[in-house]
């Protein structure tokens, strides 16, 4: 799993979170912000999917985004307000 190596992402104690989007699903982005590309290998998560939250940062759109790990194999960004800590 390639975790982005940037100084903007603030790491913290990892935890498991569940996708909880009013639309029933959410996109996973390569970088923090809606103007980023979708994660090519795993572009979308459905409500109820579990992910590991690795850190967060303020995105290009001003929202807080979580850096997540999907099944220990993929890393990408999801808006923090669309994840519920388990």
What is the pLDDT, as a whole number, of residue 13? 83
Distance in angstroms (rounded) separating the CA atoms of residues 52 and 68: 5
Tokens standing for residue 47: 């409500």
7-57 pLDDT per residue, tens: 577 767 899 999 999 999 999 999 999 999 999 999 999 999 999 999 999
The burial class, CB within 10 Å (0-12 / 13-18 / 19+), for 6 is exposed
The pTM score is 0.86
Q: Which CATH class, in words, describes the domain spanning 10-85?
A: mainly beta
Tokens standing for residue 81: 């307000």
Sign (positive or negative) of CA dihedral 33, 15, 84, 10: negative
pLDDT at 3 over 60: no
pLDDT at 1 over 70: no
Yes or no: say if 56 and 10 are a contact pair by the CB < 8 Å rule. Answer: yes
């Amino acid at each position: 799993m390639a975790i982005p190596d940037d100084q903007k992402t603030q790491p913290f104690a990892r935890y498991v979170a569940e996708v909880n989007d009013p639309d029933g699903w959410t996109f996973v982005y390569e970088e923090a912000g809606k103007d980023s590309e979708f994660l090519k290998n795993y572009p979308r998560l459905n409500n109820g999917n579990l992910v590991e939250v690795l850190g967060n940062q303020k995105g290009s759109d001003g929202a807080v985004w979580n850096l997540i790990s999907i099944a220990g194999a993929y890393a990408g960004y999801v808006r923090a307000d669309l994840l519920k800590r388990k």
